[in-house]
């Protein structure tokens, strides 16, 4: 069994868990607090970032994008119609664009700030960046949520799945990001029916069940978080 160093509220880590889950493969999970910069973790990834996968032979594969490519090359290409990347170059480019949108742009605009201010800082020591939440950062992130949800609603309303006709890694990246915000109760699904219906479809998949069971110390999820008919 492969091992994933992760944090339950990091969208990039959830993305990797969903990828393996869709291919029916379990991971051994080690929850890591990268701000502690443990010596053993730094030996795997000197940048002290998540996720980190210990692949075959305990070789570390670092970062969601690299792990995603590794999963596709070692698992996905064997799955044919269940492959989470497109068979054609243009289709793959669109999937990669959306993965970057949700795990890069949306994370930078919204997710990482709300996670840090609401979930992490209250439990971090001052020397590691802990302290009172930054209300300015929270307000800015909340304002940005609306635009990303609007874009997701447009994608879901004009395509069968976000990147095209079938489920892809792009859907998993988007669902990973939105699931973090949904845990925090930061997504207003009203007036975004297409996005809500799409998310409900992804949320109902077996690969998503472990994420719905996630709980973070000191932070109870929104009441509808694990509800498939929300």
pLDDT in tens, 150-182: 999 999 999 999 999 999 999 999 999 999 999
Report residue 194's pLDDT band, with 50, 70 and 90 as the boundaries.
Answer: very high
Number of Cα atoms under 13 Å in the Cβ half of residue 39: 0
The pLDDT of residue 230 is above 80: no
SS3 51: coil
Give me the pLDDT at residue 218, please: 85
pLDDT in tens, 3-44: 999 999 999 999 999 999 999 999 999 999 999 999 999 999
Residues in Cβ contact with 58 at an 8 Å cutoff, skipping those fewer than 6 apart: none
pTM for the model stands at 0.96
pLDDT in tens, 34-84: 999 999 999 999 999 999 999 988 899 999 999 999 999 999 998 888 999
The CATH class of the 2-82 domain is alpha beta
SS3 166: coil
Give me the pLDDT at residue 81, please: 87
Containing 60, the helix (H) or strand (E) segment is strand 60-62
Containing 6, the helix (H) or strand (E) segment is strand 2-6
CATH topology for 89-212 is Glutathione S-transferase Yfyf (Class Pi); Chain A, domain 2 (1.20.1050)
Please, where are the H alpha helices in 23-134? 39-44, 64-74, 89-100, 106, 112-114
Give me the pLDDT at residue 111, please: 98
Residues in Cβ contact with 15 at an 8 Å cutoff, skipping those fewer than 6 apart: 64, 68, 99, 103, 169, 172, 173, 176, 177
Q: What residue ranges of the chain are covered by domains with CATH 1.20.1050.10?
A: 89-212
**Cis status of the peptide bond prior to 51, with omega within 30 of 0:** yes
Q: What residue ranges of the chain are covered by domains with CATH 3.40.30.10?
A: 2-82
């Amino acid at each position: 069994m492969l091992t994933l160093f992760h944090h339950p509220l990091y969208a990039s880590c959830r993305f990797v868990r969903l990828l393996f889950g869709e291919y029916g493969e379990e991971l051994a999970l080690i929850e890591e607090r990268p701000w502690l910069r443990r010596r053993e973790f730094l030996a795997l990834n000197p940048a002290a970032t998540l996720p980190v996968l210990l692949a075959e032979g305990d070789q570390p594969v670092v970062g969601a994008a690299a792990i995603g490519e590794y999963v596709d090359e070692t698992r996905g290409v064997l799955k044919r119609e269940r492959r989470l990347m497109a068979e054609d170059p243009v289709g793959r480019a669109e999937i990669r664009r959306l993965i970057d949108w949700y795990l890069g742009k949306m994370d930078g605009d919204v997710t990482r700030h709300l996670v840090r201010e609401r979930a992490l800082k209250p439990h971090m020591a001052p020397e590691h960046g802990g302290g009172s939440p930054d209300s300015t950062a929270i307000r800015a992130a909340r304002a940005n949520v609306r635009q990303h949800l609007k874009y997701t609603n447009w994608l879901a309303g004009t395509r069968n799945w976000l990147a095209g006709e079938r489920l892809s890694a792009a859907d998993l990246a988007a669902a990973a990001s939105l699931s973090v915000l949904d845990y925090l109760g930061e997504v207003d699904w009203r007036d975004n029916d297409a996005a809500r219906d799409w998310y409900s479809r992804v949320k109902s998949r077996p690969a998503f069940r472990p994420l719905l069971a996630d709980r973070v110390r000191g932070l109870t999820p929104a009441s509808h978080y694990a509800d498939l008919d929300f």
